[in-house]
Amino acid sequence: MPDERKREETMMTDIGKNGQRTEETKGVWTFRDKSLSYQNRTLVMGILNVTMDSFSDGGSYYTPELALACALEMEKDGVDIIDIGAESTRPGAEAISADEELSRLIPALKLISQYVSVPISVDTYKSKTAREALAFGASIVNDVWGLMYDPDMAKVVSENNAGLVLMANYTDPKIFKKEGAIVENCRAFFEMGMKKAQEAGIPMSNILFDPGIGFGTETDESIELIRNTSYFQKHGYPILVGASRKRFVGATLGGVPVEDRDAGTLSVSCYCAKEHAAAVRVHDVHGTVQGMKMWQALEG
């Protein structure tokens, strides 16, 4: 297994200075009555889209029954969290209302929550959707706007003691203007989001931070963010990397299409595990779990 003392040493300090991440919660993601440790290994979050237009698997799991079958398969394959999304956030995707998002999400969520035991995350940036999802079986909110889009999102997360994935997003200069080095931009976004979380009373142990791969980043910037996983960890931001099948993987591998990017994604996931990321978010749960177990065995 990887050097666990080194892994814990990377989970320090800036957030801890605020007194909100203790020795007991370091390396543990806590929310509601649940806790997931990432001290010994990187967690795997599985992507389940109940949309018709997601860039990779749109339409594959559009009905509640198909979504349930996928969720059960992920659980059998060893997933730690299932992340359900009902609105595509791919570049150029058309925004939908919260009501439409809920009409897709809630039937699948109700069914899945009856049959799976792993925590369920909802991929949304709308507080109305998050509130309803948390009432029907979700326990984590994965916000692609890192609390910066919907002014009520932080309150909803706090009131429900939910887990939070706080993602940096560089696609709208009215919300965040990207200037200069991407790593510093990412850290600045994290600091803005963390301030909102603290003001709302969200414990830091409830939060993982996503550097926003593909959300306004070029290929070289995406790679730079991943290379700096340990940098973010050392500054108190436990990192979840969502690189699965994204454009930078295809570009790096010479233009391979979306359906051929799982091997490249697995390389990213193993690198993130080496850099002690808290979690990776992937489409191919089976391949990722097996590949990362093999990597851990080889690391010794």
Report if residue 168 sits inside a domain.
Answer: yes
User: Within 13 Å, how many C-alpha atoms sit on residue 290's CB side?
Assistant: 9
pLDDT (tens digit per residue) in 8-52: 443 433 444 443 555 556 899 999 999 999 999 999 999 999 986
pLDDT tens digits for range 113-160: 999 999 999 999 999 999 999 999 999 999 999 999 999 999 999 999
Contact call for residues 142 and 121 (beta carbons, < 8 A)? yes
Give me the catalytic one of 21, 246, 247, 261.
246
Total domain count for the chain? 1
Prediction pTM value: 0.90
How far apart, in whole angstroms, are the C-alpha atoms of residue 143 and residue 171? 14
Q: Residue 29 falls within a domain, yes or no?
A: no
Q: Which of 271, 265, 272 is nearest to 288 (CA)?
A: 265
Q: Is residue 298 part of a domain?
A: no
Catalytic residue among 126, 155, 196, 281: 281
Residue 68 within any structural domain of the chain = yes
- Residue 296: inside a domain, yes or no? no
Residue 147 in any domain: the answer is yes
Cα–Cα distance for residue pair 121/143, rounded to 1 Å: 10
CB atoms within 10 A of CB 30: 18
Confidence of residue 61 (pLDDT cuts 50, 70, 90): low
With H, G, I as helix, E, B as strand and everything else as coil, classify residue 185.
Answer: helix
Helix (H, G, I), strand (E, B) or coil at 78: coil
**Integer CA distances (angstroms), 8 to 191, 236, 277, in order:** 22, 11, 11
CATH of the domain at 127: 3.20.20.20
Query: Is 23 among the domain residues?
Result: no
Q: What is the dihedral of CA 264, 163, 74, 99, to 10 degrees?
A: -100
Q: Is 5 a catalytic residue?
A: no
CB 41 within 8 A of CB 253: no
- Within 10 A of 188 (CB to CB), how many other CB atoms are there? 16
pLDDT over 60 at 111, yes or no: yes
In a domain? residue 89: yes
Nearest to 86 by CA among 28, 36, 142: 142
Is 126 one of the annotated active-site residues of the chain? no
Residues 6 or more apart whose CB falls under 8 angstroms from that of 51 comprise 58, 59, 62, 85, 86, 87, 88, 104
Work out whether the CA dihedral 122, 126, 127, 133 comes out positive or negative. Answer: negative
Element (H, E) at 11: none
Domain that residue 233 falls in = 44-237
Average pLDDT over residues 222-231: 97
